[in-house]
Amino acid sequence: MKLLLENWRKYLNEDYRETGYKDPSSFKHYGEKGRGAPELEADRDFKREWNKKADHKFFNDEVIKVHWIGGFGGENLNSCKRKPEPCLLNIIKSWVNSQNPKNELSVVGYYKTKPSESALSVVGVLLDGYVSYASSEDAATEWSSYADEEAREKHAASGLPKRAMEKSPMFGPEDFVEPGLKHNELIVDNWRVKGIILDTVFSRPFSYWKIISTKPRPRTQQVYQAKKKEFEDIKEFCRANGIKVYDMNLKELKNETPT
């Protein structure tokens, strides 16, 4: 029976891979912009079939779901980490205030590992929601930000859907692939924010908070103080909006400031 199940899953994966749309740039479009009607319909059918076979209780209840802000070609914070401007705070505010929970969102899923083991950014959003698709690798899903006004009006009631163009489905715990050198991708619908995840290892070489991991010098004093304030302001903004704040190991941050 186990062998039969493994062969069935292998068949499904091979079958779905054959239907994958291979234009690597097409995910930077949305809907019919960037691919034709046959490909779009194939993507819809594939997602419907996945939903019939997937272990939804597992994906919805047992998998940790994190949307990494700026993790996929988004905001570049390297140029800002030595400036006094609160870039990360502004990005978090913008994201929280602009998102529509009806629009499907891409996340990375963690089952037996923690976000700290394969973080894709210095800030993530911990989410709850209905998983409408799960891929063992980057599924090259559409970017909702590329949806035009016509698409937004068409999906105003239900929200913008996302379709996978690379087909590497995961159906449950048996074939779940933890993120590592490559990340998995889950699509989440009707989601809600559970918390904001922050990098708290300030001494990390490429940390946004690197400057406050050491004693300030006269020339770095202004940025040092600004970044310390920004970290506290992020926590205050989140709490004012009913959002908990966690470190990368999902330990809730109270009033302490890591060093």
Residue 8 has pLDDT above 60, yes or no: no
pTM of the model: 0.82
23 domain-assigned? yes
Q: Locate 230 and state its tokens.
A: 């920004």
Q: Identify the pLDDT of residue 250.
A: 96
* pLDDT tens digit sequence for 31-52: 666 667 777 778 788 899 999 9
- Segments forming the whole domain that contains residue 184: 2-85+98-199
Quick check: is 234 in a domain? no
What is the pLDDT at residue 32? 63
User: Domain tally for the chain?
Assistant: 1
Question: Sign of the C-alpha dihedral, residues 81, 85, 86, 91?
Answer: negative
CA distance 196 to 22: 34
pLDDT at residue 45, rounded to an integer: 86
| Share above pLDDT 70 across residues of the chain, in percent, rounded to a whole number | 82
For 127-181, write each residue's pLDDT tens digit: 999 999 999 998 888 777 777 788 788 888 888 888 887 779 999 999 999 998 7
**Distance separating alpha carbons of residues 101 and 105, to the nearest angstrom:** 8
In a domain, 61, yes or no: yes
Residue 16 lies in a domain: yes
Residue 226 covered by a domain:
no
Of the candidates 111, 102, 151, 166, the one whose C-alpha atom is nearest the C-alpha of residue 130 is 102
pLDDT in tens, 241-250: 999 999 999 9
The answer to whether residue 40 sits within a structural domain is: yes
Task: Give the per-residue pLDDT at 117.
Answer: 92
Quick check: 200 pLDDT over 50? Answer: yes
For residue 153 the two structure tokens come to 């009006």
Mean pLDDT lowest among 69-73, 92-96, 126-130, 198-202: 69-73
Tokens standing for 184? Answer: 């998995």
Task: Report the pLDDT averaged over residues 226-248.
Answer: 95
Q: Which residue has the tokens 């899953």?
A: 9
Mean pLDDT of all residues in the chain? Answer: 83
Is residue 253 situated within a structural domain? no
**Residue 7: pLDDT above 50?**
no
60 Rama sector, left if φ>0, alpha if ψ -120 to 50, beta otherwise: alpha
Answer whether residue 239 is part of any domain: no
Per residue, what are the HEC states of 134-164?
EECCCCCCCCHHHCCHHHHHHCCCCCCCCCC
Among 16-30, 72-86, 113-127, 188-202, the range scoring the smallest mean pLDDT is: 16-30
